[in-house]
């Protein structure tokens, strides 16, 4: 069934697996400090401004309005996206703060390196590096949208949006490459599992927890 989902949404998954393969290869073959310095060595004043704003697309001011819009558009889509977003974010926070709580961010190792860049007005965090929470949220939200839209090119656009947000975390020196790879895996895998249980198996919404008046209202209204 999962293979069927991947095939039906290949415009997201094919480039994602390519991104994952290249990312894992570089993470395994190049020292994380050298790879970070190389990835951040290409910059300009314009990209500095752009990535400061792009990275915010994984934050609540952008994601919560999407969830609210889905609530009034389609109850099942709302439940699917909200669960995917919330659970994947929760898992990432547990990994960051409990399992890998000693993982430090680039600034801890490179703050005295002559090639390390600090972008004006960007507060660089030092702790809880692995995995990237922004990347988890970005891939969770945008793969959910990719599942919901019909147009294949919009699915590809969703992948590109999630990837650019993920890269912004490296560009701003908030995370290493391995952090965004792990974050993307959490966001993508959790959302895919919820899509399977909600849209393919159609079992999750039958659970009593969803058998409330709001759900009944949306079902009766044809959504």
> What local confidence, expressed as pLDDT, does residue 214 receive?
45
Q: Which two tokens stand for residue 169?
A: 């975390």
Residue with tokens 């400090």: 33
E strands, 68-183, are none
> What local confidence, expressed as pLDDT, does residue 46 receive?
96
The DSSP code for 204 is G
Q: Identify whether 125 is part of a domain.
A: yes
Q: Number of folded domains in the chain?
A: 1
Q: Identify whether 217 is part of a domain.
A: no
Q: Identify whether 169 is part of a domain.
A: yes
Q: Identify whether 220 is part of a domain.
A: no
pLDDT band for 73, please (50, 70, 90 cuts): confident
| Domain extent at residue 127 | 2-206
Span 11-29, pLDDT tens digits: 999 999 999 999 999 999 9
Q: Identify whether 58 is part of a domain.
A: yes
76 CB neighbour count, 10 Å cutoff: 19
> What local confidence, expressed as pLDDT, does residue 200 receive?
84
Q: Which two tokens stand for residue 22?
A: 């290249």
> What local confidence, expressed as pLDDT, does residue 75 receive?
87
Q: Identify whether 199 is part of a domain.
A: yes
Q: Identify whether 212 is part of a domain.
A: no
Q: Which two tokens stand for residue 107?
A: 């600034």
> What local confidence, expressed as pLDDT, does residue 120 receive?
87
Q: What is the mean pLDDT of residues 65-74?
A: 92
Global pTM value: 0.91
Q: Identify whether 87 is part of a domain.
A: yes
């Amino acid at each position: 069934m999962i293979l069927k989902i991947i095939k039906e949404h290949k415009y997201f998954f094919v480039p994602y697996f390519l991104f994952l393969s290249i990312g894992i290869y570089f993470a395994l073959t190049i020292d994380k400090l050298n790879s970070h310095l190389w990835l951040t060595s290409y910059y300009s004043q314009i990209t500095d401004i752009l990535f400061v704003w792009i990275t915010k697309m994984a934050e609540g001011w952008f994601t919560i309005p999407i969830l609210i819009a889905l609530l009034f558009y389609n109850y099942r889509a709302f439940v699917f996206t909200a669960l995917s977003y919330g659970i994947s974010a929760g898992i990432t926070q547990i990994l960051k703060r409990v399992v890998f709580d000693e993982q430090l961010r680039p600034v801890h190792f490179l703050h005295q390196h002559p090639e390390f860049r600090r972008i004006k007005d960007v507060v660089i965090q030092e702790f809880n590096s692995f995995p990237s929470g922004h990347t988890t949220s970005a891939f969770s939200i945008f793969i959910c949208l990719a599942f919901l839209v019909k147009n294949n090119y919009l699915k590809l656009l969703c992948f590109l949006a999630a990837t650019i947000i993920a890269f912004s975390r490296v560009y701003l020196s908030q995370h290493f490459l391995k952090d965004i790879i792990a974050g993307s895996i959490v966001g993508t895998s959790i959302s895919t599992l919820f899509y399977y249980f909600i849209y393919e198996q159609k079992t999750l919404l039958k659970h009593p927890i969803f058998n409330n008046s709001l759900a009944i209202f949306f079902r009766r209204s044809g959504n």
